[in-house]
Structure 1
Amino acid sequence: MPGLDFSVVYDSEFTEEMEQERQLKYEEALLVIERNKGEEFIYTEAEQRMDQGQAVGSGKWRMQFDDDGEFWLGELTLELIYRWGRPVYIPPILLGYTWHEVEKCEIDSFN
């Protein structure tokens, strides 16, 4: 029999200043990614590099295959962690982005 669920829905101690600081840190992280990206290439080459076992990134996005050959797409969140999922299709907007190699993530970081 289910009981009451006392989950936090709204954090009243999380201020607007804290939100602005979090947004600033997110934007700084994206700038670091931009400054350290190395050689860029189009999506078709990104696919080829992933087929060879590399991970690729573009701005807040990352893509890679796991050890079982499953495709994973990650998006950097405001908490500066990647939210990973296995999409049914590639969002068309990603096809027009330029990509670069990034360090491959461990499988346990997807869960």
Structure 2
Amino acid sequence: MKIWWLDYHPVYNTVNFENYEDGKNVREMVQDASPLSGNWIRYNVILNNKGKPSDILNAVGGALIVSERAKDIITQIPNLNVEFLPLSSSEGVFFVLNVLTVLNCVNPNHSKEKRLGSSNKLIDYEELELYKDVVQDKDLFRIMLHEGNTVLPKIYVSDRLKDLLENNLEGYQLVEMWDSEFSWRQKEEKYASMCEEVDKSIKGTFNFEKAVNYVQKNKGQLIYSGKWALKVDEENEIWLGQLSLNGTYSWINPIYYPPVILGLTWGTK
């Protein structure tokens, strides 16, 4: 059993409030997951058309702006405690998805907390451990901090809703946040072991400058350092890869390299 964070994806079409103050007001209204349909007014929004259709078009505090198709798909699951608050636009039919289910489901003894400076105030979680009996059979919800009454802005979905979204919608992100069978500590241990194995397997070591020269002269070859890898594309542009838990690399063409990358020792396999 897994729990997923549902979010919009900025490279796809997005929707923004025509008036900045309207967007600010909506962010404040959805903050604590209270019902809003009784006093809701239609706010004007505009579509930022990037040529990549999307059904989850923006995040607004603790809510999402969604398409009519997203509304139709999500409501296929009965008895969800949500509101679809209509927006005004000449460019499509859009809604604010206001999720009203808030769960006190965090196991504080096994989660990694994020606290604020000298006040030590709990503001978020870097890693989550959830109570399975609380989140089981909950398809769409938000989470309350285990200290105080703050409701976190992220919207979480079940495996069942994730599958429904993946089969019917486009232009969004689903990020795994919790796995009942594989804790974040176990993932960290596995990842550290994978990085160690990479370092043990490399032969011939280079600094960053020589590593770049190597991959540019040996197209198709990769060079490694812990969780990182370097390669070039057909235009001889350098790509930086980060190792994933599944053993593959996610690649970016970086604008700049942080100092930690520049100081690493690299090698070939």
Please, what TM-score do these two structures have when normalized by structure 1?
0.73
**Alignment correspondent of 1:50:** 215
Q: In structure 1, which of residues 13, 18, 21 is the aligned counterpart of residue 182 of structure 2?
A: 18
How many residues are aligned here? 101
**Alignment correspondent of 2:202:** 37
Are residue 98 (structure 1) and residue 265 (structure 2) matched? yes
Q: CA deviation at 1:70?
A: 2.6
Gaps of 5+ in 2: 1-66, 75-138, 141-155, 160-177
Distance 1:96 1:48 in 2: 16
Q: Deviations over 1:87-111 (max 9, x none)?
A: 1112222111100024xxxxxxxxx
Distance 2:263 2:68 in 1: 48
Q: In structure 1, which of residues 28, 36, 44 is the aligned counterpart of residue 193 of structure 2?
A: 28
Distance 1:27 1:98 in 2: 17
2:225 is aligned with what amino acid?
A: S
Q: Deviations over 1:11-46 (max 9, x none)?
A: 58722x612333332122112112111111111211
Distance 1:72 1:25 in 2: 25
Please, what TM-score do these two structures have when normalized by structure 2?
0.33
Are residue 2 (structure 1) and residue 68 (structure 2) matched? yes
Aligned-pair Cα RMSD in Å: 2.6
**Alignment correspondent of 2:249:** 82
Alignment of 1:56-75 (within 5 A): 56-75=223-242
Larger RCO: 1 or 2 (CA < 8 Å, sep 6+)? 1
Could you say what secondary structure the match of 1:90 adopts?
coil
Contact preservation (8 Å) 2:232, 2:238? yes
Contact preservation (8 Å) 1:22, 1:79? no
Distance 1:11 1:92 in 2: 39
Gaps of 5+ in 1: 103-111
Distance 2:264 2:204 in 1: 13
Distance 1:80 1:65 in 2: 20
Structure ranking higher in strand proportion: 2
Q: Percent identity?
A: 27
Distance 1:58 1:81 in 2: 14
1:100 is aligned with what amino acid?
A: G
Could you say what secondary structure the match of 2:268 adopts?
strand
